[in-house]
Structure 1
Amino acid sequence: MLEMPPLQFAQTNGIRMGYYEAGPKTDTPPVILCHGWPEIAFSWRHQIKALAAAGIRVIAPDQRGYGATDRPEPVESYDMEHLTGDLVGLLDRLKIDKAIFVGHDWGGFIVWQMPLRHIDRVAGVVGINTPHTNRAPADPIELFRKRFGEHMYIVQFQDPTHSADKIFNGRVEQTFDAFMRKPVPRSDTAPAEPPTAGVGASPRLNLAFPQMIANYDAKHDPRTPILSPEEKQVFVDTFTKSGFTGGINWYRNMSRNWQRSADIDHTVRVPSLMIMAENDHVLPPSAADGMEKIVADLEKYLVRGSGHWTQQEKPDEVSAKLIEWRRKRFG
């Protein structure tokens, strides 16, 4: 795979997890890179190379349901207890006491949960685009349905017939052609409403992603791709083999995660960095407003000119900030 270390495997939390590792083993905490949807460890290729070159041990797994990692059948096997447990099991397997967890998109939701559920295994947390929020006041799926309507992609993902999965599985190349592009300047200049369960998108955005993919034609898209043809092919080949259902099952546990988190203190008490992207329309910088109230030790950093795929759109800047923050906080 392009610019990636050799693929390795670890038995963790009842599954076989594929992961990539680079950099020297030292006494300082390693960095665990957690991808989002629809992505894989390959999304971190630039950061793996840069962090390893800076003398930092870095590990990037294909997470449960993705890429080279197992894809269990039961939907409840993808709840937050399993997703965070996978990372703890990976640390155990690699004989790592504590790590710095870095997450983008859905990976961000997971890494913010790590110090809430497994504080003894977490040295620090970095969220990229995805902020930490308090527990939603109601079931997040119902809040999304009320705010965005039935066509909002997360609401559609709850369909037991898996209609959205079928659209993505039948249009793999179209999916990555459509998603992996730099954004156009935001036309909606109104401030985003307060975030709901970590999503601060304006309700005026079109979030009917399955229908967007079904009708997508790259010839009429003015946006610039962020992937080379060779890089795009890695995603296409991987998801052609794995399908999208494993990753979508993470969304199918949002109600379950909410129901099972009522007794969890949502205050993060480890050194934390929030990297925001200026032009992310789904997770705008305003979604991170107020994080200081529930993240005791927080630094914020804005990547200007970047859309949602920040570590791939602005790889050098993101890598440099990760290296600088880690050295400042952990030596």
Structure 2
Amino acid sequence: MSVDKITPDDSRISHCEANLNGQTYHYILGVPKHGNFEATVFLIHGWPDLSYGWRYQIPFLVKLNMRVVVPDMMGYGRTNAPCSPPADLRLYSIKRAADDIFELAKQLNAPQIILGGHDWGGFVVYRTAQWYPKLVTHVFSICTPYTAPSRHFISLVDMVNGPLPQFGYQMQLAGQELEAKIRSYDQVKSFLMALHGGKSAQGKPCFRPETGIDLDGLKTINPAPSLDGQELEYYTKEYMRHGLHGPLNWYRTRRINYEDDLKLERKQIIHPVLFISGKFDAVLTPEMSKGMENFVPNLRRREVEAGHWALTQVPAEVNKIVEDWLIEVVFKARCAL
């Protein structure tokens, strides 16, 4: 089934800039042709992605009469990527992302927004709803389950050696090896192919959740099934703007995010939430969402036959689930007011 998607130079969208708390952000803006819209939805990407990761969802949401705002997050694409040090690593924290979303909504005269997230973006939208409960009305997350704030710090080592061994790749990302060795255009291209399922000439995956990127395998990597052709070239060019330093900094803020979480007033998400799990996601496994109802009382669960890249692997299915939820939960609630 063919699904409409934007291209980087699509006439239906605008590429915009905003100064958010001292940093320049790039964002994609999509607005219905007539200029009027039912609501504003922010879409937040994860790693290693871009605003363009939502390319199949932007035109679909605009057709539903939504104003769609999709930023490149801190360190990605055309948004600033401050080098830390000397810049404060907190620029890459989830709280900072929430503050910047709030500021962008304010600049766009959006007193209330719907938030959608994927991967790191899922963590961001949950916490943004907690930090700014009056700004956010509804939340949907693709693949990323809700994780409640913890009163005790759990190191990445303890996490990997305990309940989540598939997070072992984060040990590699938080270190300095990848940043130092993945620099050239071809290296960045191969790196992106690996994260999207590319295999070496020997037929072995070049990325394994438990260990990370196989740097030797990158030398003979074959095309990735979920990112290829012109889209792969576009991603590579965008990542070459700043390299991997900014995106990898998101994996170096674990303690900062923990300390910020201690300041949250509640562990629950009080907003209506749609969670779409990827049945075959090897990192954010469906099992990780067990018990979400204890912290998200107004939760709707759905699942798609896809891995981590559900947004682009099964866009028709994802869009249909989101559409049904918007009609039955979001728009119906507005009509009742």
Query: For this structure pair, what is the TM-score category when the shorter chain's length is used for normalisation?
Result: 0.7 to 0.9
Asked if the contact 1:125–1:271 (Cα under 8 Å) also holds between the matched residues in 2, the reply is yes
The root-mean-square deviation of aligned C-alpha atoms, in Å, is 2.3
Mean Cα deviation higher: 29-38 or 70-79 = 70-79
1:199 maps to: none
2:3 maps to: none
1:163 aligns with 2:164: no
Structure-1 separation of matches of 2:31 and 2:322? 15
Secondary structure of 1:120's counterpart equals coil
- Written as runs of structure 1 = structure 2, the 5 A alignment for 1:92-171 is 92-136=106-150, 137-147=152-162, 152-159=168-175, 162-170=176-184, 171=187
Asked if the contact 1:144–1:155 (Cα under 8 Å) also holds between the matched residues in 2, the reply is no
Q: Deviations over 1:103-136 (max 9, x none)?
A: 1000001001012111111011111111101224
- Written as runs of structure 1 = structure 2, the 5 A alignment for 1:6-85 is 6-24=14-32, 26=36, 28-73=38-83, 74=87, 75-85=89-99
TM-score with structure 1 length normalisation? 0.85
Q: Which amino acid aligns with 1:55?
A: N
Paired-residue identity, %: 26
TM superposition shift of 1:227: 2.5
Asked if the contact 1:29–1:123 (Cα under 8 Å) also holds between the matched residues in 2, the reply is no
TM superposition shift of 1:65: 0.8
TM superposition shift of 1:299: 0.1
- Show structure 1 runs of 4+ deviating over 4 A: 217-221
- Written as runs of structure 1 = structure 2, the 5 A alignment for 1:215-254 is 215-217=217-219, 225-254=225-254
TM superposition shift of 1:179: 1.5
Q: Which amino acid aligns with 2:177?
A: S
Q: Deviations over 1:55-86 (max 9, x none)?
A: 22211111111111111232222112211111
Higher relative contact order (CA 8 A, sep 6+): 1
- Written as runs of structure 1 = structure 2, the 5 A alignment for 1:206-221 is 206-210=209-213, 212-217=214-219
Q: Which amino acid aligns with 1:252?
A: R
TM superposition shift of 1:53: 2.1
TM-score with structure 2 length normalisation? 0.83
Structure-2 separation of matches of 1:87 and 1:234? 25
Secondary structure of 2:117's counterpart equals strand
Asked if the contact 1:34–1:107 (Cα under 8 Å) also holds between the matched residues in 2, the reply is yes
Asked if the contact 2:93–2:256 (Cα under 8 Å) also holds between the matched residues in 1, the reply is yes
| Gaps in structure 1 of 5+ consecutive residues | 184-204
- Written as runs of structure 1 = structure 2, the 5 A alignment for 1:267-282 is 267-282=268-283
Q: Which amino acid aligns with 1:301?
A: R
Asked if the contact 1:30–1:100 (Cα under 8 Å) also holds between the matched residues in 2, the reply is yes
